[in-house]
């Protein structure tokens, strides 16, 4: 397993910064802040942190996807892609529809070799997730795909060119739901695409994407959405809203030039020196955030910025912020306010 991962995207700068390009022909793909999402009745906030990727369905344009050429799988190699996605409770269709949400393609935006997609049946409003050898999905999970909650989706791809022995396996919340062992790869994988493609105008609703990872070994779901101790290999928000940090640690394997900086902010672009609360450099293995043992408190949220060679850090939150001992999403709590205003 690459560590940090080959590609990790948490959208925590509110942009597509980790991706090579973006194809959004109808301008319906964006990266909203949690305060914007919290104002929309029935919609979730990001799975973790302050931002995620959003696609609003219901237009005639073909593609709303981010693309990465870092997603690269050679012939005879195996790799995994994992992401979290949320389908809004009002996601519906007046005509049967099949559309893609992720694709493994040949380099340079070439032929799609593997597709992960959704199928919605108008008569029953049944929503299914499935996989396909090529541009369209052909086989689907037995159970309906959940609406109204975050779901972990992972796909395993073994590339085999020249014979129908390539393997595609689909996992939902860590459980295998479909596999195809006779796929045909015309060429190796050279890029990956996340979002929606070919959604009909009769299909309406919102899909959120968060916490995307591509790597050469199985990634698995995140163990705890609001964990008290988080292993970070990517800059991002460890929580938003008021909270505290007990300790930070730079792990073995981090370069001597590695730096971990903690900022009191709930926006990824506010990283000026006046908001810095703590900095840990690679010359020190581990330090408490306060010599007297008093945690550092953040009023607006804690953004952790990693820099240097392969930085890996553990951030430990205060155990007394709520009854469960874990920092929950401030944005989720704020959704309970009158009118959903943050």
CA atoms within 13 A on the CB side of 119: 16
List all residues 6 or more positions away from 184 whose beta carbon is below 8 Å from its beta carbon: 133, 163, 164, 166
Q: What is the pLDDT of residue 277?
A: 76
Domain containing residue 310: CATH number: 2.60.120
Degrees to nearest 5, angle at CA 132 with 131 and 137: 75
The verdict on residue 187 lying in a domain is: yes
Does pLDDT of 134 surpass 60? yes
Identify the pLDDT of residue 1.
Answer: 61
pLDDT digits (tens, 9 = 90+) for 223-232: 888 888 899 9
Mean pLDDT of the 236-258 span:
86
* Residue range 179-200: mean pLDDT, rounded: 96
| Boundaries of domain holding 144 | 7-215
Task: Tell whether the model's pLDDT for residue 284 goes beyond 90.
Answer: no
Collapsed DSSP state (helix, strand, coil) of residue 205: strand
Residue 21 within any structural domain of the chain? yes
Cis omega before residue 4 (within 30°)?
A: yes
Q: Are 208 and 239 part of one and the same domain?
A: no
pLDDT of the residue at 335: 59
pLDDT of residue 327: 60
Residues 30, 159, single domain; the answer is: yes
pLDDT (average), residues 259-270: 84
Average pLDDT, the chain: 88
Banded pLDDT at 336 (limits 50, 70, 90): low
pLDDT in tens, 298-333: 888 889 999 998 899 999 887 544 434 446 666 766
- Are residue 119 and residue 31 in the same domain, yes or no? yes
Name the token pair of 251: 């792990």
Answer for the pair 183, 173: CB distance below 8 angstroms, yes or no. Answer: no
On whether both 135 and 19 belong to a single domain, the answer is yes
Residues 111 and 245 in one domain: no
Quick one: 207 and 236 in the same domain?
no
Tokens of 264: 């009191």
Instruction: Kindly report the CATH number assigned to the domain that includes residue 111.
Output: 2.60.120.200
Domain total of the chain: 2
pLDDT band at 341 (very low <50, low <70, confident <90, very high): very low
> What pLDDT was estimated at residue 273?
65
């Amino acid at each position: 397993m690459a560590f940090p991962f080959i590609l990790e995207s948490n959208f925590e700068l509110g942009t597509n910064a980790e991706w090579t390009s973006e194809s959004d022909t109808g301008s319906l793909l964006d990266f909203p802040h949690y305060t914007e999402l919290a104002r929309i009745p029935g919609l979730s906030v990001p799975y973790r942190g302050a931002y995620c990727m959003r696609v609003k369905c219901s237009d005639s344009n073909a593609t709303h996807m981010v693309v990465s050429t870092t997603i690269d799988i050679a012939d005879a190699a195996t790799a995994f892609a994992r992401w979290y996605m949320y389908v809004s409770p009002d996601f519906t269709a007046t005509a049967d529809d099949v559309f893609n949400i992720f694709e493994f393609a040949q380099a340079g935006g070439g032929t799609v070799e593997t597709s992960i997609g959704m199928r919605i049946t108008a008569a029953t409003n049944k929503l299914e997730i499935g996989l396909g050898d090529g541009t369209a999905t052909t086989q689907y999970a037995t159970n309906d795909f959940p609406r109204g909650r975050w779901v972990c989706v992972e796909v395993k791809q073994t590339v085999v060119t020249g014979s129908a022995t390539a393997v595609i396996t689909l996992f939902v919340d860590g459980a295998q739901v479909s596999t195809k062992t006779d796929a045909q790869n015309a060429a190796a994988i050279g890029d990956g695409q996340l979002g929606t493609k070919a959604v009909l105008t009769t299909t309406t609703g919102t899909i959120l994407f968060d916490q995307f990872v591509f790597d050469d070994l199985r990634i698995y779901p995140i163990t705890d959405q609001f964990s008290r101790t988080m292993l970070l290999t990517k800059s991002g928000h460890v929580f938003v809203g008021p909270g505290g940090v007990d300790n930070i640690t730079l792990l073995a394997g981090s370069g001597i030039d590695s730096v971990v900086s903690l900022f009191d902010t709930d926006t990824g672009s506010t990283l000026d020196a006046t908001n810095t609360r703590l900095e840990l450099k690679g010359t020190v293995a581990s330090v408490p955030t306060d010599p007297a043992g008093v945690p550092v408190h953040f009023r607006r949220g804690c953004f952790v910025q990693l820099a240097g060679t392969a930085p890996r850090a553990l951030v430990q939150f205060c155990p007394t912020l709520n009854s469960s001992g874990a920092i929950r999403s401030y944005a989720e709590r704020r959704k309970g306010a009158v009118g959903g205003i943050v």
